[in-house]
């Protein structure tokens, strides 16, 4: 990839993050949790890879949230009417976020138990 292509890709990614920050309450909340959790990960474990795992699972939550938001916005753009098929698609996106949150919670609880139990 050329520098120009990398620059364009980075610009598009940052624009997507900015849009999600402006328009999506769930994204802002999850980003705040990530920001607060980073120093906690350093307190919770001295192991570099365990810290990386704790932070990465929260980044995965943000990634799934971004994908879910993309699906929802595309569905809303497709038709303004309530469509039962689109509802199922949106519910599946929501379920994906739930699974990512559950995974992150399990990983963080496991790390806390390992540290304090």
C-alpha 14/C-alpha 9 separation (Å) is: 9
Tell me if residue 65 is catalytic.
yes
Task: Report the residue count for the chain.
Answer: 117
Tokens of 46: 């001295």
Catalytic residue among 24, 53, 65, 72: 65
Q: Other C-beta atoms within 10 Å of 29: how many?
A: 11
C-alpha 74/C-alpha 26 separation (Å) is: 18
Which phi and psi (to 5°) does residue 46 adopt?
A: -85, -10
Catalytic sites, residue numbers: 65
């Amino acid at each position: 990839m050329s520098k120009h292509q990398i620059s364009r890709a980075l610009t598009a990614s940052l624009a997507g993050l900015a849009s999600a920050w402006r328009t999506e309450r769930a994204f802002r909340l999850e980003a705040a949790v990530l920001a607060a959790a980073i120093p906690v990960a350093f307190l919770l474990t001295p192991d570099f890879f365990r810290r990386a795992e704790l932070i990465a699972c929260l980044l995965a939550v943000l990634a799934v949230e971004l994908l879910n938001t993309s699906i929802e916005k595309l569905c809303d753009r497709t038709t303004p009417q309530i469509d039962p098929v689109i509802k199922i698609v949106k519910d599946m996106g929501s379920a994906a976020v739930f699974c990512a949150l559950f995974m992150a919670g399990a990983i963080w609880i496991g790390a806390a138990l390992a540290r304090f139990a």
